Homo-oligomer: A and B are copies of this chain.
Amino acid sequence: MTTPLIERTVFIVSDSTGITAETFSHSVLSQFDKAKFKPIRIPYIDSAAKADEVAARITRCALEEKHAPLVFSTLVNPEISHRIRNANCTFLDLFGTFLQPIEEALGMKSNHSIGRSHSVGLSKQYNNRIEAINFSLAHDDGQFIHGLQQADVILVGVSRCGKTPTSLYLAMQYAIKAANFPLIPEDFERGTLPATLTPYRSKLFGLSIQPLRLSEVRNERRPNSEYSSLKQCRYEVAEAERLMRMENIPCLSTTTRSIEEISTKVLEEVGLNRQAY
Chain A residues with CB under 8 Å of chain B are 3, 6, 8, 16-20, 22-24, 26-35, 39-41, 43-44, 68, 70, 74, 76, 90, 92, 94-95, 97-99, 101-102, 104-108, 110-113, 116-122, 126, 130, 133-134, 137, 140, 164-165, 168-169, 172-173, 254-261, 263-264, 268, 273, 275-277
Q: Could you tell me if B276 and A23 are in contact, using CB atoms closer than 8 angstroms?
A: yes
Task: Please measure, in the bound complex, the distance between the C-alpha atom of A218 and the C-alpha atom of B267, giving whole angstroms.
Answer: 31
30 examples of A-B residue contacts, CB within 8 angstroms: A8-B106, A16-B261, A17-B264, A19-B260, A20-B23, A20-B27, A23-B24, A23-B276, A27-B116, A28-B94, A28-B98, A31-B111, A31-B113, A32-B111, A33-B111, A33-B116, A39-B275, A41-B276, A90-B104, A90-B105, A118-B258, A118-B261, A121-B254, A121-B255, A122-B255, A134-B165, A137-B140, A168-B168, A168-B172, A172-B172
Q: Could you tell me if B70 and A102 are in contact, using CB atoms closer than 8 angstroms?
A: yes
Q: Could you tell me if A117 and B30 are in contact, using CB atoms closer than 8 angstroms?
A: yes
Q: Could you tell me if A31 and B116 are in contact, using CB atoms closer than 8 angstroms?
A: yes
Q: Could you tell me if B68 and A105 are in contact, using CB atoms closer than 8 angstroms?
A: yes
Task: Please measure, in the bound complex, the distance between the C-alpha atom of A19 and the C-alpha atom of B260, giving whole angstroms.
Answer: 8
Also in contact, A256 and B122, with CB within 8 A (given A19-B264, A108-B34, A165-B130): yes
Q: Could you tell me if A256 and B108 are in contact, using CB atoms closer than 8 angstroms?
A: no
Q: Could you tell me if A92 and B101 are in contact, using CB atoms closer than 8 angstroms?
A: yes
Also in contact, A35 and B121, with CB within 8 A (given A172-B168, A277-B23): no
Which residues of the partner chain B approach A6 to less than 8 Å between Cβ atoms? 106-108
Q: Could you tell me if B261 and A121 are in contact, using CB atoms closer than 8 angstroms?
A: yes
Task: Please measure, in the bound complex, the distance between the C-alpha atom of A18 and the C-alpha atom of B268, giving whole angstroms.
Answer: 12
Task: Please measure, in the bound complex, the distance between the C-alpha atom of A23 and the C-alpha atom of B19, giving whole angstroms.
Answer: 10
| A168 CB to nearest chain B CB (Å) | 6
Which residues of the partner chain B approach A107 to less than 8 Å between Cβ atoms? 6
The 10 closest A-B pairs by CB, nearest first: A121-B256, A27-B117, A31-B110, A90-B105, A118-B260, A17-B264, A30-B116, A20-B27, A22-B276, A17-B260
Which residues of the partner chain B approach A268 to less than 8 Å between Cβ atoms? 43
